[in-house]
Amino acid sequence: MRVLVTGGAGLIGSHLCERLLRDGHEVLCVDSYFTGSRQNIAHLTNHPMFDVLRHDVTVPLMVEVDRIYHLACPASPVHYQRDPVQTMKTNILGAINMLDLAKRLGARILQASTSEVYGDPDVHPQPESYWGRVNPVGVRSCYDEGKRGAETLFFDFHRQYGLEIKVMRIFNTYGPRMCADDGRVISNFIMQALSGRDITIYGDGQQTRSFCYVDDLVNAMVSFMDSEPGFTGPVNAGNPEEFTMLQLAEQVLNLTASVSKIVFRPLPSDDPRQRRPDITLAQQMLGWRPTVPLSEGLVRTIEYFRHQSGRRR
């Protein structure tokens, strides 16, 4: 098939492009490079089945493809709060433009949604049936509510036009090709540890997250896209193992053999206290669960950042 991946130069998108090429598909990678990086896809540019187009999804796109993976959107607070209006435009206008494209082509389309649609949850772990607890006017709303609005559009296109949709709620994902300055906790901790700077924990360090290695997440996306047409989701994809920020910091310190010290800072506004996916639906419908433990994924990610640091020097 000919497959379009929007946001294809990002962390997940670049790994997804690799996987689709390995599976024998033609891949069109579309990215505005607002947060994506040419470096993430540089090794693919000479592949005969790979094309790249610089394009902002807030502008309609006219291409011919069989399937669409819609990943385009800044996904870390540092990036999506830099230009919150553009973030909301990317979520809503980007969804409309990709859905219009899918409708014209009769193509199946997958929306990369997020665990942020659950907000600061009062149900734990979070099943797909939970409607969430989101601040609609907070500093994170451009992303949280933008993704919720995109989900609404996907299901309305499905109900109104019979469009084949897949909606996946992605929980914290990490791995090689993370952006070093995106403000995410794993990249923050690793970069601070490798440089010997203090490791910064916001709050008391007892807030929790679940971390899914990027290869596991890509496997879930491909399995979901290939699943029967009637299974639209939303479906959670993430690692159900839960870690406190303090536990994560200690793992990073041990794996990097760093002399960095842990320091505590005030918790940012609307930062969720706990986050862990209920992946029962993904297990039942896709036969999927993550296989890469955090310790192994961290080793691979630390090596990537070490290599990148060496190249910069």
DSSP state of 203: T
Q: What CA–CA distance (Å, rounded) separates 256 from 175?
A: 15
Q: What CA–CA distance (Å, rounded) separates 79 from 178?
A: 13
Residue 206 phi/psi, 5-degree rounding, is -95, -10
CA distances from 188 to 268, 300, 302 (A): 15, 16, 11
Antiparallel, parallel or unpaired: β 208-209 and 243-244:
antiparallel
Q: What CA–CA distance (Å, rounded) separates 61 from 55?
A: 8
Q: What is the dihedral of CA 195, 197, 198, 203, to 10 degrees?
A: -70
In the numeric block, which tokens belong to residue 95?
């969804």
Marked catalytic residue, from 69, 80, 118, 143:
143
143 belongs to the catalytic site: yes
In the numeric block, which tokens belong to residue 118?
């659950």
Q: What CA–CA distance (Å, rounded) separates 41 from 46?
A: 10
**Residue whose token pair is 């939970």:** 130
96 near 153, Cβ under 8 Å? yes
DSSP state of 202: E
CA distances from 139 to 84, 142, 172, 297 (A): 8, 7, 19, 30
Q: Which residues are catalytic?
A: 143
